[in-house]
Amino acid sequence: MNPIPYGRQSISDEDVQAVIDVLRSDFLTQGPCVALFEKEFANYVGSKYAVSVSNGTAALHLSCLALDVDNGTKVITTPISFSATANCIRYCNGEVVFADINEDTYTIDIDKIKSVLESEERGTFQGIIPVDFTGRPVDMEALRKLADEYGLWIIADSCHSPGGSFVDSKNQIQTCGNGTYSDLSIFSFHPVKHIAAGEGGMITTNNEALYQKLLKLRSHGITKDSQFYQNDIELAGGLSSYPEWYMEMQTLGFNYRLTDFQSALGMSQLSKAKEGIAKRRMIAANYYHALKDSQFLIRQSGLIDGHAYHLYVIEVKDRLGLYKFLRSNNIYAQIHYIPIHLMPYYKARGWKDGDFPYAEAYYKNCISLPMFPTLTAKEQDFVIQCIKDYYNE
């Protein structure tokens, strides 16, 4: 049996061809594929606007900047995510405030957010960054309601859930990133995620002002759109209209652009994303039924409608033993994640063991099993058999 990772990309001949076509064209970066990819991605999630960026972390950074996170801005997020989710607040000198997870969903617990909000004066907190951890969509409608009560914005970290959805109280299917309940949503195209572009990211929104802000921040703070110019045209050389070469740097931005060949790969991958999710849901169902009556199991989520299954996590007894046994069988299960507040950087900022008991209990027992669309039935059977062998069940 070949090594089985917890996640991997699948690159088809069409994907390769799409990249080659761009490499042979006139545009390596900022060509026609960038705008096309944005349009198709916005279509896929059902948002008005999409802004592509160089990676998911850049998407988080620009989102915080667009929402004016600044010195001392307090933003609430989950301790169970990739550290970039919290780091983006720090990039802008904001203050990270964690709220513990729910022990069943593993996503940020709305009641814990409420306690945080009620613990301080109104106006203390400015925003929430929830994460659709493992691909399980958070109830964004409920979060929006709470956010509105306190005047907060929401950046949804949907890196695990492109194509995922939940049903709201009006019985409407809400696709992750469609902007109905969150101000901004962000995605990553790192190879382990649903859609691979090497590196890459996307921000989606229905808010035009934020969209314009993001476009500028992505590219040095420069605009080339004359309707937004601030300088007098006299300053541009005493001409009667702005010359072709004219542009303005209006704010301190970055170079966070996605290249044209990455966009071509992203687009090609996007065309297979629905198939990929269907496959992931099938794999999840297999795990669920094979493991549900096991004595070693502490918890596994039920099968959830709309779950995008970026990860398939179970909580087990003797997790370390299982992890090692799987590795000795060439199965590279992973642990997602070490709680962010226990990372040395955050500990140095005042957090400690015991601060978030649900996140810490989860971390003690969790293990992410192999989950990717090209995992074969034979490979999955082998994974399940190895788990059962380890526990003699």
Ligand X SMILES: *Cc1c(COP(=O)(O)O)cnc(C)c1O
Cβ proximity to ligand X: between 44 and 187 the closer is: 187
Residue 147 tokens read as 């956010």
DSSP code per residue over 315-334: EETTHHHHHHHHHHTTEE-B
Minimum CB distance to ligand X, residue 193 (Å):
6
End-to-end C-alpha distance for the chain, whole angstroms = 22
Q: Find, among 119, 108, 31, 43, the residue nearest to 74 by Cα.
A: 119
- Pick the closer one to ligand X by CB: 33 or 58: 58
- Is the CB of residue 141 less than 8 Å from the CB of residue 129? no
Quick one: 236 or 343, whose CB is closer to ligand X?
343
Question: Which contiguous run of DSSP H or E holds residue 314?
Answer: strand 312-316
- Tell me whether residue 160 or residue 216 sits nearer to ligand X (CB atom): 160
Nearest distance from C-beta of residue 385 to ligand X, angstroms? 29
Residue 64, number of CB atoms within 10 A of its CB: 25
Residue 322 or 339 with smaller CB distance to ligand X: 339
Residue 252 — φ and ψ, nearest 5°? -80, 105
Residues found in the chain: 393
CB 314, min distance to ligand X, A: 19
Backbone angles phi, psi at 282, to 5 degrees: -65, -45
Of the candidates 252, 202, 244, 251, which has an alpha carbon nearest to the alpha carbon of residue 224? 244
Residue 183 or 248 having the CB closest to ligand X: 183
Dihedral sign for Cα atoms in the order 320, 324, 327, 329: negative
Residue by residue, DSSP assigns 21-83 as HHHTSS-SBSSHHHHHHHHHHHHHHT-SEEEEESSHHHHHHHHHHHTT--TT-EEEE-SSS-T
| Nearest Cα residue to 343 out of 86, 106, 129 | 86
Beta bridge partners of 205: 49
Q: In the complex with ligand X, which residue's Cβ is closer, 329 or 368? A: 368
Cross-strand bridge partners of residue 227: none
**Enclosing H/E stretch for 154:** strand 153-157
**Cβ closer to ligand X: 197 or 291?**
197
Nearer to ligand X, 55 or 268 (CB): 55
Give the nearer residue to ligand X in terms of CB position, either 131 or 215.
131
Nearest CA among 104, 148, 106, 102 for reference residue 128 = 148
**Contact yes or no for 310/188 (Cβ under 8 A):** no
Q: How far is the CB of 366 from ligand X (least distance, A)?
A: 15
Q: Which residue is nearest to ligand X (CB)?
A: 56
Binding site for ligand X (CB under 6 A): 55-57, 81-82, 84-85, 131, 157, 159-160, 188, 190, 201
